[in-house]
Amino acid sequence: MMNWDGTGGMVQTWIFGLLVLLGVIVLGVVLVKAFTGGSNTTREMGADPGRGRIILDERYARGEIDIEEYQERLRNLEGDGR
């Protein structure tokens, strides 16, 4: 029996096949990320001191922190910690 598009289901078969292939690829990526740790979590947590300084400067420029807090956090970022 022919489907509504007259191809006997060939289009539906191709679409289903592509969806299955896409699902296998996504599953593979998820599994690889799960078993390899996913990403560089230390950089995402702000462990990059250059990025921390940029964020600190931006917060100070927006007025979110005052000069005392800025200087204290800057000392902590630079490792002085006094």
The H or E element containing residue 43 is helix 41-44
Q: Kindly state whether residue 31 falls inside one of the protein's structural domains.
A: no
Measured in degrees and rounded to the nearest 5, phi and psi for residue 50 equal -65, -40
Q: Kindly state whether residue 42 falls inside one of the protein's structural domains.
A: no
CA distance 46 to 29: 25
CA distance 35 to 28: 11
> With a threshold of 0.95, does the pTM exceed it?
no
Q: Kindly state whether residue 37 falls inside one of the protein's structural domains.
A: no
Number of domains the chain contains: 1
- From the list 50, 51, 53, 48, the residue with the least C-alpha distance to 61 is 53
Question: pLDDT tens across 1-34, in order?
Answer: 555 556 667 888 999 999 999 999 999 999 998 8
Q: Kindly state whether residue 60 falls inside one of the protein's structural domains.
A: yes
